[in-house]
Amino acid sequence: MVFSSIEFLALFLPLFFIAYLATPGSARNLTLCLGSWMFYAWWKPAFLLLIVGITFAAWYLGREIERAMERGEDGRQRLALAGGIVVILGCLGWFKYANLLVHTTNDALQTMALGPIPWTNVILPIALSFTVLQSVSYLIDVRRRTVMAEPSFVSFAAYLDMFPHLIAGPIIRYSWVDKALIERQLTFEDMSIGARRFMIGFAVKVLIADTLAPVVEAAFALSHPTFVDAWLGNICFAFQIFFDFAGYSAMAIGLGRMLGFKYPENFRDPYLAVTIQDFWRRWHISLSTWLRDYLYISMGGNRRGDVRTYINLFLTMAIGGLWHGASWSFLLWGAIHGVALAIARLWNQRRWRWPSALSYPLTLLTVLFAWTPFRATSWDGTVAMLSGQIGLNGFAISGQMALVMRPLLWLWMGIATVVVFWPAAKGRFFPRFESTGEWWEALWPIALFLYAIAVMMGHQTVPFLYFQF
């Protein structure tokens, strides 16, 4: 069940909110917890046991770490933290990377004329990746004394398994919602602001991201894309993943607000970034800050000399790339950004300066090139698209792409371009979620939402891209 589906909009969401609003404040965490578990069980009930198991392990180990700290048992708290991280990351490793390791091994065996390892592909449960990241951050925060361990399992499960954001982010830290778990209030203002954000996020996902999806599919399916083919596919994918993921984040933030939680922003006009560091301060902010605080800093950050800093930057982004999916092309995407960040740091340390007229297009070009292996998900597909992007297969648009590019697609590409770059002229990030009080500010999200529902019902539901990660 995805947010952009009739099952969610017409069945699950209304029933859940009826139950949630009818529940006394002291019991709403239980309603949120049970509702979230029903949401995950809708896909495959068996995998709910995995989510609940990780939730219980993180809650129990968090309390064990705190007890050990109170008793001064440093070895016990280290063991609980290390054991918890190993077990939780081990679950992710098995479900997410077992297929990749076996297929890579079988490819190597084939080159040596040896038989393959018998294997049935492991299915990746939804919400597992974000459950693991939040569990790890919680245990580390308890160990660092950033937060107190949550004494109530129900409250902790309501935090960790909260359905609005756990499928595809943003990554919510316990310290951001611990007070709201106890004392949140449901107000008409929060409900209206949250509903408005949800409707806008839903609209941009369905109307822009899903409309551009066929162009991306067609371009990346070509074996010899031309220059125009490759760049059309690449630019459309850049728009698609932004509006798909930012749309989901807006929906999650909106739902959270309606439940009484205030999640932080996850995107701030990333395609207006003037440096690669600036891009990562704007794109998937909850992930970039998670990688910084729990991976980069844990590896030493910039405290062990320049060379080690460059290595840490590269490894952080490479691991972040591989986290996105079990494919070496994701590792390549992360490595490209890791190299770019290391070069940018070296450049700044030498006090060299790019003219602003060059810095922005160079940053955008780096981001666009890096999207190619991210979307291609195979080495052959990556090479084919990169070859097209540098003109090795000719320049004119191919017949296949010309058939795909209907007038409506050009219209939505134009709208996407305006939405992405308009904030550069207006000085604020789009979309504007807070209403100014004007009547049209209240009505246009509703009209857009209803139109998006009509469009959604006219074609097959396109899953959110980050569901696969």
The residue behind tokens 């789009």 is: 430
CA 143 to chain centre: 26
Other C-beta atoms closer than 10 Å to the C-beta of 452 total 21
Region class of 307: left (phi > 0), else alpha (psi between -120 and 50), else beta: alpha
Q: What are the C-alpha distances in Å from 196 to residues 158, 200, 208, 248?
A: 24, 6, 18, 13
Euclidean distance between CA atoms 296 and 290, whole angstroms: 9
- Helices 227-259, 188-204: axis angle to 10 degrees equals 160
- Secondary element (H or E) of residue 18: helix 13-22
Nearest to 121 by CA among 380, 326, 302, 316: 326
DSSP 10: I
Nearest to 324 by CA among 467, 463, 209, 462: 467
* Choice among 165, 284, 324, 337 that is catalytic: 324
Euclidean distance between CA atoms 402 and 223, whole angstroms: 16
Q: What are the C-alpha distances in Å from 128 to residues 41, 57, 168, 172, 457?
A: 13, 14, 10, 14, 29
Residue 140: CA count within 13 A, CB half-sphere: 17
Euclidean distance between CA atoms 98 and 95, whole angstroms: 6
SS (H, E, C) 166-233: HCCCCCCCHHHHHHHHHHCCCCHHHHHHHHHHHHHHHHHHHHHHHHHHHHHHHHHHCCCCCHHHHHHH
Q: What angle do CA 197, 423, 258 make, to 5 degrees?
A: 10
324 is catalytic: yes
DSSP class per residue in 386-453: HHHHTTTT-SSPPHHHHHH--HHHHHHHHHHHHHHHHHHHHTS-SS--S--S-HHHHHHHHHHHHHHH
Region class of 127: left (phi > 0), else alpha (psi between -120 and 50), else beta: left
List active site positions. Answer: 324
